Structure formats: structure tokens, C-alpha cells
Amino acid sequence: MLFANKEKCLQSTSLLSYDEACIDIFNTFNDTVSIFGQYQQCHECNFQNFTVLSPQGNKSLLISTRSPLTLYWDKDGIDNCIFSKLYYEHYRYGWNITSQCEQVRIKNAADDAYLPILMAFVFLFCFGTLWYMVKCIYKNSGRLRSLLAWSSELEDDLTGSTPLVIERPPSIKKHPHRIKSLDVFRGLCIILMIFINYGGGHYWFFQHSPWNGITLADLVFPWFMWIMGLSLTVSMHKKLQRAVPRRTLVFQVLRRSALLLFLGVVVNSSKHVLSIAELRFPGVLQRFAVTYCIVGLLEIAFAKRIEIDNISCVTDIVQAWPQWLFVLMLVAIHTCITFLVNVPGCGNGYLGPGGLDDMSKHFNCTGGAAGYIDRQVFGHHLLKISDCSRIYENKVWFDPEGILGILTSVLTVYLGVQAGRTLNTYQNVKAKTIRWVVWGCSMCLIGEILCSFKIDDGPIPLNKQLWSLSFTLVTAGMAFIIHTFLFLIVDIYRKWGGRPFFYPGMNSIVLYVGHELFRNTFPFGWIPTVETHSAYLFMNLWGTGLWVAIAIYLYKHDIFFTI
């Protein structure tokens, strides 16, 4: 994972980009020395030959600061002085190759790379606090409101711009029967998704994991799917209570799924100018469409119209046993295909990224059975550059929104349906929240057990690219807990109105499609003059803020888009 432009470190005044540092290496021996290294982020990878130093020679290496780097030098076929270290962005280091095994030292330090995000957080916190204080003062000060109203009316009377009798239009309460906490959760997800898709300031924790493990960027998509399941069952329950014909509901589900598929292809075509033969078919909206169609038809087929009189502690589960049986069957199929299908040249049960992983033993086996199925079905219609290729240098195409992951994605959506069924079944707030917390903790615990509480080497690692079963359970469990918290403080105790997340949650489809179509256009994005975290963070926050402002404008003008 050395950077291609190695000439940057040869110029002392050169401006390094984000996540870059330089190591000046001097060989004190009268023999040729080879420098080997590998990043700890690359799981079970062979050490790479970074450079060769001539006798008494020196060279400069441009390295990445995203992950700790293990280095050693080799002379006469003997490995010497192996050590690991996390390097800091824009630092310049020095390393003398001597028989005493000297460690890397700092030659020139730089500003903290995380200072911009800390300043941004402080600014947003202060701005939000000030805005909240001003609103509270205005709402609780009757004299101030009357003074402002009196001044406005006096000015109108003196200028004659308005009649003496002023009629105020009646206020309209928008969507009074919606679950506000659900819109807040959805709005939080869409804001995070926009910020992350725009780059997230190019900080590693706002990027997807190269393979195993979870970052903040990996959580947004499954949370959105869980929310879709909850919304689906709440909406379906109301329609069934109103005796809407099931054939009408089937048509609505199929129509919405078709629209999501169409929008997904449009979004894919907007990212790269490609021929039809290379257009990517899988995608985020496509995954939404297929899972929504499966779960929606499943609920239409088995959900009951009548209310249950005798409610027990497991009523919300028992009444949906056919649906759960079907979903668990899909999970079993996913597990059997993943671990039992013999992939040509790769064997069975491989869950790695291929390339340098596992000492390059499975170089062309990226994704195991999941990747093989997608390459056979879609051919060239896949994502060309995956997140893992930067680390593992794999050459085989792999799409994180492939076919096999749909099966476990259905489980994600149906766990949201289960949350909605609990909401509809039990009238007592305590009964709802206790069940949601139990579901959340149980799913997180089972998911962690499946991965043996480790990032790598567990039976079923946490992996968003494969949408592994452990990933499904952990992310859904987190969604249960987050929604419970929001439900209590927004809907029950009313300690927070959900702003500003509430507004994007009311028009999430517009914001998602819009930010994808205009992501590389001004004023939502541009090419910074300097490649630093500060420049990218400002640009990404600015673009995200514009979409929040658009969402507020749409809400204030009663403009809502649904499909």
C-alpha cells in the first residue's frame, strides 16, 4: 500500500496529501540492504519489498498513516530489526540502518490531523446550542414576542402596506400520525450517508472497512434497511386495518420496488461515463428494492387483519411464525452456499478478500462463493474498484451489493419488521421498550459470538462487503437500541424535537438520489486547492449542510416526495 507518487518525499518543501508521511532511510553498511514492510490492516499478508538501499546509500519512502506499519531490513538473507509503529500524517521520519537496530525517529512534526474534525464538532455544537437558546428565549418571553408583533403592526399601519385587520392563516400540523422518532432515525442515517459518500473529510473512520470489521460508514446502510422494515410493517398494519385489498398492496409493493430498481440504475449510470456493456447493475437502491419486494410480499401473504385479544409476552413473535420460518430458511441457504459450495480454484468456505490475503494463497478468490456467483451472473456489470483492492491489491472484481448478500439483508429488514410488529402489538410503552432492548442486546451478543469477539479469524467475521450473518445481527441489534432511545426522548418524554435530523427523514429518497446525482457538481463539491483533511472536511460538511437546508425548505413548503 505504498503510494504511487514516491517523488513527493524527495522534495523537502512538497505538500503531502492526507494520510501521507515520509521516512528518510540511511544505510550505514557497506552492503546492499533491502527494506521490507506490511501494514497491519492487511490480514495475513506477505511482507512486500519496499525498496533497496545501496551501500552507504539513502532513500525516502512515502507511506500511508491509516494503519500501523511493520518494517524490517534484510541483509544477506537475514531479517533484522522487526518493529511496528503507527505513523502520523505529514510527519517526516528518519531511520538509520545500523547493527544496533535503531528505531524510527521524528525529524519534522506536523499539526494534529484530527484537529479539524474537533474544531468542526465544537463549531457545530456551539451553533446548535446558540440556536436552541435563542428559540427558547423567544418562545418563553411573552414581552419580546408582543414587542416584535407590535412593532411589525405599527410599521404596517404607518406605511399602509397592509390592512388594519390581519388574518393569520391556520397552522397545519404535518403528518400528525407519523412516528417522529422513526423520521429522526432515518434523517440521522441519510445525513451520515451523504457526509460519508461525499468523503467524510477522508478520515479512515468515515470510510468503509477494507474487509472485516466495522466503521461508522458500515453502519448506515443496514440501519436504513432496518428502518425500512419498521416503516413497512407500520404502514402495512394500517392498510390491513382499513381493509385495503391484498392485491392492491401487492401492486403497490411491486411498483415501489420497480421504481427503486430504476433509480438505482440511474444513480449508477451517473457516477461513471461507461458503455452499457460495463454499466454496474447491483447497487444500494437495488438492494433496497429486492429486499423490500421479498419482505413486503411476505407480509402481505401472512399478516392478519384482525386484532389479537389474548396478548402474551411472545405474541408478536408467534403471530409471525410463517414469516420467520421463511426468513430463517433464507439465512440457512446463505450459510450453506457460503461454506459448502466448492468455488473453482478456491475451495469452499473462503471468506477473505483474495489478493495478498492468506499469503496470497487465494489471490483470485475475492469474496469466495459470493464473489464467484456475482461474476458468473453479472459478468462485467459489477463495481470495478472495491474498498479492499487498496489494501490487498486484488485484481478480481467484487461488488458489495451482490446477490448472496440479499439473503441476509432480508433478515436485516425483517428484524425491523419485528420491531414494528412489537410497536403495533403492545400498547404499554414499557412493554415495547423492554422487548426492543432485549432484541437489541440479544442480536449484538449472538453476532459477537459468531465472530468470536474478534475482527479476523472468527467463524463468521463482521463483514459489510459480504453482509455476513454476524454483521447483520450486530447492526440490527444496534438499530433496536438506538430506536428505543429516540422513541423515548422524542415521542414519549418529548425532550427533543428531533431537529435537524427530522427534516431530512421526511424526504430521504430525494436527498439520497439528489446527493448522488450532484455529488461532483458545485456548490455541493469541488476540487480543493490543497489535499488536506481540513479542505475536504469543510467541503463535505458544506455539501451535507446544503442538503439539510434543502430538506428544511421542502418541509416548510409542504413538499414531500414518496415512491
Catalytic residue among 208, 362, 381, 483: 208
Q: Rounded distance, CA 207 to CA 256, Å?
A: 30
The residue among 563, 536, 562, 547 whose CA lies nearest residue 514 is 547
User: Peptide bond before 500: cis, by omega within 30 degrees of 0?
Assistant: yes
Placement of cell 457526509 in the chain: 195
Q: Which helix (H) or strand (E) holds 35?
A: strand 33-39
Give me the DSSP letters along 74-108. EETTEEEEEEEE---TT-EEEEEE-TT-PPPEEEE
The answer to whether residue 208 is catalytic is yes
Which residues are CB-contacts of 402 (< 8 A; sequence separation ≥ 6)? Answer: 282, 367, 370, 371, 373, 374, 378, 382
- At residue 71, the 3 state secondary structure works out as strand
Instruction: Locate all alpha helices (DSSP H) within 362-404, ordered by sequence.
Output: 368-378, 389-392
**How deeply is 407 buried, as exposed, middle or buried, from its count of CB atoms within 10 A (0-12, 13-18, 19+)?**
buried
Q: Rounded distance, CA 240 to CA 144, Å?
A: 49
The residue among 499, 514, 503, 518 whose CA lies nearest residue 559 is 503
Looking at the chain, the number of H-run helices and the number of E-run strands are 17, 8
Q: Rounded distance, CA 284 to CA 261, Å?
A: 9
> What ranges make up the beta strands (E) of 297-345?
none
DSSP-assigned letter for residue 312 = -
**Under 8 Å between Cβ of 476 and 464:** no
Placement of cell 469466495 in the chain: 368
The neighbouring-strand residues paired with 69 are 39, 85
Give me the DSSP letters along 127-195. HHHHHHHHHHHHHH-HHHHHHHHHHHHHHHHHHT-S-SS-PPPPP--SSTTS-HHHHHHHHHHHHHHHH
Q: Rounded distance, CA 331 to CA 333, Å?
A: 5
The residue among 47, 73, 50, 48 whose CA lies nearest residue 61 is 50
Q: Which residues are catalytic?
A: 208
